[in-house]
Structure 1
Amino acid sequence: MKNPNGYGGIIKLEGKRRKPFYARVTEGWEIVHKETGEALIFIANGAELPKILPENTKLKQIFTGIGSFKTQAEANIALADYNKKHSPLDAATLTFAELYKKWYAWKFNPRRKKQLSQQSKGSYAAAYKNSRDLHNMRWLDIRYDHMQNIIWESDKGRETLNNMKNLWSQMYDYAIMNDIGERNYAQYLETDVAIEGKEDIHAPFDDAERKLLWERVDEFGVDTVLIMIYSGMRPTELCLIETANIDITQRVMRGGVKTNAGKDRIIPIHKRILPLIQKRMKEGNEYLISIDGEKISYYEYRSRIWDPLMKQLNLDHLPHDGRHTFGTMADDVGMNQKALKMIIGHSTKKDVTMRYTHKDIEQLKKAIDLIP
């Protein structure tokens, strides 16, 4: 099971050694010149790494050694002790991701008499991954609504949602034990309602509502709703679309999250939203949807764009309703089910890691243009 980012790791040194297990942690990264090896910039561990490096440079990982040990178990104990000592809990700045790292070191401390299984580690790791919208939030800023909305917007099964709730609740308990906060908001979360009422809480935009959106398309944020309605993208996917992955000439974009079928898929651009996407691309931002040129999370999109817009338009919809609307409209026009699954990122019998052929792309564009 992979440790959290920044936690550190253990390698086994080559040759016959009395202490072959070497524990180390990442101190940071250096941007170095490829030819001379000269270090140009140091980036501390935990800071965001640049997506594009200066010409003729590369990233070099810098480690701090903890020590060599006879057994892997001894190395694990040393690694856990190091994280406990060198990552103090600072309530003022502590983020969800930082607290998870501390909780993980405590939960899976090798000194515990009863060790949890690899399956348990995997479940917690998956729950953490599904909490990506919380990762960079300050722990003390997280409230019930933040977590409940993630559950309501998720298309995961009940077991996965319960695992997420369980992780959050345990993190709250750990934080409270360390005098970080006073209340466990996760204990109030509803996972049963999120599943059993799933079809009830999501409703497609009807004809009159879609007409209203087109009439007020120039108002801030309306275009984002229409893009989801005419593409079938999830809100999180929309926030992650990079302009570099949009081909206006071919009328396609590449992106997607969630399942293997959904990740990095080709999404045809409907003719009606093509001008909306072109207009946003002219802004010159890295991400299609941004605020002040900066990438935004699902939570920021929900709180700063979607919720104010729904109130302004006097509409009652959740962000995921755009995707539901697309599915409804596709069904109404009798879209080919294979094409529909490929567009929205549901698995098909075809290899989901395939390379899209020109014929595939043309068929997807033909299918999506059936929607009026």
Structure 2
Amino acid sequence: MRNPNGYGCIKHLSGRRRRPFVFVVTDEGRQRPVEYFTNLVDAQIFQADYHRAHHHRSLPGHKITFAELYHRWLPRHTEDTQPSQSTLNSYRNAYQHLSTLHRMPVEDLRYADYQRVIDDMRRHGLSYSSVKKVRSLISLLLKYANKIELSTTNYAPLLSIGRNRPVHPHHTFSRQKINRLWKFVDCSGVDTVLILLYTGMRCGEMLQLQKSDVHLRQRYIRITQSKTAAGIRIIPIHHHIVPLIESRMKSPGDALICDTTGRPYNYGRYCAVWRTVMHHIRADGHTTHDCRHTVATLLDNAGANETAKRRILGHAGGDITERVYTHKNLRQLRKCIELLK
């Protein structure tokens, strides 16, 4: 269908540009650029909003596509919930898995369309976690569709994603492997593994730590960026790793974990360090998340207080009394963490 007069048009500019799409309108017989965009969908959303603002109506017969719904939802959701960067990345990846639906009107999509995407992911061997994130994104988008009064059903609860069969089951570190880490503590990167094993931090939390988040005098670390709300917490510094933290605090860079030039690690770069350390202590096959499983297991074996353990690991409590009315101070958390030997 041809756009009406005054609707403007979108052009793709030549050359290597950061924002190659431009929305233009005709002004006194000449085309005037209004705004530039990095992708076509953002330009189309702006075009529709521009027409509505200036002509006080939507384009007749216009149906919001899945891509438009996503790009309208994401800024609002980000503003309301302020998700972490890892969460935003997971939204982006899940959205790409739904690429076959991008150009389809949301109102025309049915259960079979969404289930087909899920089935294709499972057929290609993608992990249970990846499939679950796609279903979660579908649910968030269709809830938003209801908010903006699109006539559609939230099919997410009906989608079948199969059973969780871990591709790489987690294994705890044995005492022998932990002892070997201490034996090679002066080797590059070994201290970071020990920090994970004596704090229970997620790898991403450790890599995002700034030196300003470390309080050596009071001997605790403040986690300010995490994948969950419960992950925002304080962790006492175990006396075994105090020298390791002090050494990192004296190294170049603003982040706690940096290379010799002061450049912070992202997860991809750190994985190379991790694999080198694991090979050095004959522990190939372990993942960074095994450290959290090890901490949880060792604290459980030592009879640690369950609430204190949850606070240290950043797990949300399931019981309302525990979540709302139970408070653990730093001294009690330190008593818990020191149960690690």
- Normalised-by-shorter TM-score class: 0.5 to 0.7
The match for 1:214 is 182
Aligned 8 A contact 1:130 1:164 in 2: no
So what's the TM-score if we normalise by structure 1?
0.54
Matching residue within 110, 119, 128 for 1:192: 128
2:251 pairs with 1:294: no
Matching residue within 336, 357, 361 for 2:305: 336
The match for 1:235 is 203
1:119–1:324 CA distance, 2 compared to 1 (3 A): farther
CA apart distance, 1:167: 1.6
Q: What amino acid is aligned across from residue 64 of structure 2 in structure 1?
A: Q
1:320–1:113 CA distance, 2 compared to 1 (3 A): same
The match for 2:274 is 306
Matching residue within 167, 178, 184 for 2:95: 167
Alignment partner of 1:272: what SS?
A: helix
More strand by share: 1
Identify the range of structure 1 (293-302 vs 333-342) with the bigger mean alpha-carbon deviation: 293-302
Distance 2:240 2:297 in 1: 17
The match for 1:114 is 63
CA apart distance, 1:104: 5.1
Q: Deviations over 1:225-251 (max 9, x none)?
A: 010011000000000111111111211
Aligned 8 A contact 1:165 1:189 in 2: no
Map residues 1-372 of structure 1 onto 2, 5 A cutoff.
Answer: 82-84=35-37, 87=38, 102=39, 105=42, 108=45, 110=48, 113-116=62-65, 120=70, 121-122=72-73, 132=86, 165-169=93-97, 188=124, 190-192=126-128, 196-198=164-166, 201-255=169-223, 256-263=225-232, 265-291=233-259, 292-303=261-272, 305-315=273-283, 316-348=285-317, 349=320, 360-372=329-341
Alignment partner of 1:257: what SS?
A: coil
Distance 1:275 1:370 in 2: 18
Q: Deviations over 1:52-94 (max 9, x none)?
A: xxxxxxxxxxxxxx99xxxxxxxxxx99x7234xx4xxxxxxx
Alignment partner of 1:236: what SS?
A: helix
Ranges in structure 1 where 5+ consecutive residues have no aligned partner: 1-44, 47-65, 68-77, 88-101, 136-160, 175-185
Number of residue equivalences: 241
Q: What amino acid is aligned across from residue 344 of structure 1 in structure 2?
A: L
Alignment partner of 2:222: what SS?
A: strand
The match for 2:54 is none
Distance 1:172 1:223 in 2: 45
Alignment partner of 2:226: what SS?
A: coil
1:122–1:133 CA distance, 2 compared to 1 (3 A): closer
Aligned 8 A contact 1:287 1:295 in 2: yes
Distance 2:167 2:308 in 1: 23
Q: What amino acid is aligned across from residue 346 of structure 1 in structure 2?
A: H
> Which of structures 1 and 2 has the bigger CA Rg?
2
Alignment partner of 1:364: what SS?
A: helix
Ranges in structure 2 where 5+ consecutive residues have no aligned partner: 1-17, 26-31, 49-58, 103-119, 131-162
CA apart distance, 1:132: 3.8
Distance 2:166 2:73 in 1: 26
